[in-house]
């Protein structure tokens, strides 16, 4: 799957639109647009703002903003390392142990405080 920034850059270049023109009409700083097109989201404000930028940029290029934002979310998910299965099992076991001791502890407190 193509990253959203690369896709937007290709669309912009295919339509012969300059980055300055996009910046002028969308009111998004050129530096932010360049970071989006290079998929360097760490240089941008929090994800909520990035989604807003992608929404405006997509609308300017007459693209479906929902598709672009979905591409962005999937791109971010692809960057996250998968959780090892053993770690998931340990977390599940830890939660299960806590649940079994909780009723016994509450009975003990009730007897002790009575």
pLDDT bracket for residue 27 (50, 70, 90): very high
Same domain, 73 and 97: no
- pLDDT higher at 102 or 21: 21
Same domain, 74 and 99: no
For the chain, the domain total comes to 2
C-alpha radius of gyration, the chain, whole number: 24
Write the CATH number for 29.
1.10.260.40
> What is the average per-residue pLDDT within 88-106?
61
From the CB of residue 53, how many other CB atoms can be counted at a distance below 10 Å? 19
**Inter-residue contact 25 to 4 (CB < 8 Å):** no
- pLDDT higher at 109 or 94: 109
Span between the terminal Cα atoms of the chain, in Å: 64
Same domain, 62 and 11: yes
Kindly report, residue by residue over 28-70, the tens digit of the pLDDT. Answer: 999 999 999 999 999 999 989 999 999 999 999 999 999 999 9
Same domain, 98 and 50: no
At 7 the pLDDT is 95
Kindly report, residue by residue over 72-92, the tens digit of the pLDDT. Answer: 999 888 887 776 666 656 666
Same domain, 61 and 96: no
Same domain, 38 and 69: yes
The 8-class DSSP code of residue 3 comes to -
Same domain, 11 and 53: yes
Same domain, 62 and 93: no
Domain that holds residue 49: 4-79
Same domain, 72 and 100: no
Same domain, 54 and 68: yes
- pLDDT higher at 100 or 11: 11
pLDDT bracket for residue 21 (50, 70, 90): very high
Query: Which of 1-10, 59-68, 100-109 has the weakest average pLDDT?
Result: 100-109
> Taking each helix axis from N to C terminus, what angle separates 65-79 and 4-14, rounded to the nearest 10 degrees?
140
Same domain, 13 and 53: yes
The 8-class DSSP code of residue 61 comes to T
Q: Which residues contact 13 (CB under 8 A, 6 or more apart)?
A: none
């Amino acid at each position: 799957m193509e990253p959203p920034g690369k896709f937007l850059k290709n669309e912009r270049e295919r339509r012969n639109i300059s980055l300055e023109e996009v910046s002028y009409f969308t009111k998004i700083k050129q530096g932010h647009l360049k970071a989006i097109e290079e998929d360097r989201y760490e240089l941008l404000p929090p994800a909520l703002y990035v989604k807003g930028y992608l929404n405006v940029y997509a609308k300017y290029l007459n693209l479906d903003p929902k598709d672009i934002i979905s591409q962005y979310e999937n791109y971010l998910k692809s960057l996250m390392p998968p959780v090892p299965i053993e770690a998931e099992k340990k977390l599940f076991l830890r939660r299960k142990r806590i649940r079994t001791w909780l009723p016994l502890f509450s009975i003990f407190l009730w007897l002790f405080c009575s």
